[in-house]
């Protein structure tokens, strides 16, 4: 998949695809990237949220195509002039630009706030209607009431806080919060945004999840880098909340999630399900990836982290020691040894139909109706909005399945 590809590319070439792209453009060469996404790759994910945001196994047909079309010299000159104009304007004013009233939907808070984690905190300047946010990149002065917010990948947490951005990176159709972003501009994949498109949107605040995207966009508008891979879901939400002065809203969301988790665990315990084993798989006839981490997505956060359910011993041993996304790609012949009392299978458009496979059909959990199919898009994210919806789904499906003995 593209996220995994980006990491492996950097490992072998020494620079990221974006940096390679710039280098090749300078040398007047054309770069190609494969569009067929592997069904068996396993990408690394963030610590305890689900910003795996990048383990998609769906196929996209079409050979290869240039990474980005080269702009004409005139258009590049215009972009350069626009950038210089924006820089001069920022230098002359000394304060953040105040957007036109009524544009977008932003947070409203002029109260002073303090750091909520080691990575991000904030302090409000009431006179200038700005807020100083402490980040791993240093202090960043942002509007106290931003109206034109651009966010990459972290949109689920932003939406949960009641903020509607003007643009975000691509959101899969089955995402829990998809309907909340109707009419919002899409900027494509989160790890390769188009700076020119962002400039055209005239944002007053940008939130990014990686070093590369921070470097790419930081000169366009106040930009806050959230190092999601080093944060739990709760830490990430608190950090984002500090940008908008919405710490109290974040605390309420976290408390509500914790209450839901405890109620869900009690419901499953009363039904005799909580102590049963659960497996999560993804793949098809040629092989299955068995999830061996609490940080892999595909329901691993909801099942293993929040509900505290266990996998079969051979899988649980790895879950207990793996702190990042992890899984094993297994043949169908050995797969039954890794399947618990219940099995969740991540599916997507074009996934193999396993109904006629004798090995798959003979697995007790499958044979006895305790197979639960989960939509890849819906379980791809680990923001607090998505985790809430995933917990509802998981509990409902487990209660509806035949009981394991």
CA-closest candidate to residue 50, choices 247, 355, 295: 295
> For position 229, what pLDDT does the model report?
80
> For position 354, what pLDDT does the model report?
96
CA distances (Å), 283 to each of 7, 209, 351, in order?
21, 28, 7
CA distances (Å), 75 to each of 81, 182, 392, in order?
10, 30, 49
Domain boundaries, the chain: 2-66, 73-245, 254-400
CB atoms within 10 A of CB 124: 18
Cα 33 from Cα 27, distance rounded (Å): 17
Beta strands 205-208 and 223-225 are parallel
Fold of 73-245: Rossmann fold (3.40.50)
> For position 21, what pLDDT does the model report?
72
CA distances (Å), 14 to each of 20, 54, 145, 272, in order?
9, 20, 40, 51
Structural element, H or E, at residue 59? none
| The two structure tokens encoding residue 229 | 């891979």
> For position 248, what pLDDT does the model report?
97
- Same fold for the pair 73-245 and 254-400: yes
- CATH annotation of 254-400: 3.40.50.1980
Prediction pTM value? 0.71
Taking only the tens of pLDDT, the chain with its 405 residues reads 554 566 567 667 777 676 677 667 665 433 333 322 223 223 333 333 333 433 443 332 222 222 323 333 344 444 444 444 444 444 444 433 333 333 333 333 333 333 334 355 655 555 459 999 999 999 999 999 999 999 999 999 999 999 999 999 999 999 999 999 999 999 989 888 989 999 999 999 999 999 999 999 999 999 999 998 888 899 999 999 999 999 999 999 999 999 999 999 999 999 999 999 999 999 999 889 999 989 888 999 999 999 999 999 999 999 999 777 788 899 999 999 999 999 999 999 899 999 999 999 999 999 999 999 999 999 999 999 999 999 999 999 999 999 998
Q: How would you write 322-358 as a 3-class SS string?
A: CCCCCEEEECCCCHHHHCCCEEEEEECCCCCCCCCCH
Cα 273 from Cα 205, distance rounded (Å): 46
> For position 59, what pLDDT does the model report?
30
Cα 316 from Cα 134, distance rounded (Å): 38
Cα 387 from Cα 82, distance rounded (Å): 41
> For position 20, what pLDDT does the model report?
75
| The two structure tokens encoding residue 161 | 């806080």
Q: Are 159 and 180 in contact (CB under 8 A)?
A: yes
């Amino acid at each position: 998949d593209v996220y995994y590809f980006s990491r492996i590319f950097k490992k072998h070439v020494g620079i990221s695809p974006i940096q390679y792209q710039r280098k090749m453009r300078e040398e007047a060469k054309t770069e190609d990237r494969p569009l067929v996404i592997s069904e068996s790759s396993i990408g690394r994910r963030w610590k305890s949220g689900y910003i795996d945001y990048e383990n998609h196994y769906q196929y996209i047909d079409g050979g290869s195509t240039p990474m980005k079309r080269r702009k004409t010299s005139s258009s590049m000159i215009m972009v350069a002039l626009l950038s210089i104009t924006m820089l001069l304007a920022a230098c002359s004013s000394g304060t953040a630009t105040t957007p036109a009233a009524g544009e977008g939907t932003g947070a409203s808070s002029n109260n002073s706030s303090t750091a909520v984690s080691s990575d991000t905190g904030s302090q409000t300047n009431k006179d200038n209607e700005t807020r100083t946010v402490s980040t791993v990149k240093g202090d960043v002065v942002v509007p106290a009431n931003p109206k034109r917010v651009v966010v990459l990948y972290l949109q689920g947490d932003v939406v949960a806080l009641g903020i509607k951005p003007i643009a975000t990176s691509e959101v899969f159709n089955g995402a829990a919060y998809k309907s909340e972003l109707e009419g919002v501009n899409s900027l494509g994949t989160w790890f390769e945004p188009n700076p020119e498109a962002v400039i055209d949107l005239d944002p007053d605040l940008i939130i990014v999840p990686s070093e590369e995207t921070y470097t790419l966009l930081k000169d366009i508008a106040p930009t806050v880098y959230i190092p999601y891979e080093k944060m739990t879901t709760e830490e990430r939400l608190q950090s984002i909340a500090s940008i908008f002065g919405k710490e109290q809203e974040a605390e309420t969301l976290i408390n509500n999630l914790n209450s839901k988790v405890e109620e869900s665990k009690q419901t499953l315990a009363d039904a005799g399900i909580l102590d049963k084993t659960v497996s999560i798989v993804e793949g098809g006839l040629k092989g299955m990836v068995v999830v061996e981490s609490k940080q892999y997505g595909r329901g691993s956060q909801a099942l293993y982290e929040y509900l505290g359910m266990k996998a079969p011993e051979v899988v649980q041993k790895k879950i207990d020691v793996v702190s990042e996304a992890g899984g094993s790609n297994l043949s169908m012949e050995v797969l039954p040894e890794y399947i618990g009392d219940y099995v969740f299978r991540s599916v997507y458009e074009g996934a193999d139909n396993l109904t006629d496979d004798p090995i798959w059909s003979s697995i007790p959990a499958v044979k006895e109706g305790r197979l639960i199919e989960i939509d890849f898009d819906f379980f791809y994210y680990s923001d607090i909005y998505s985790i809430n919806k995933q917990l509802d789904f998981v509990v409902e499906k487990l209660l509806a399945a035949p009981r394991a003995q």
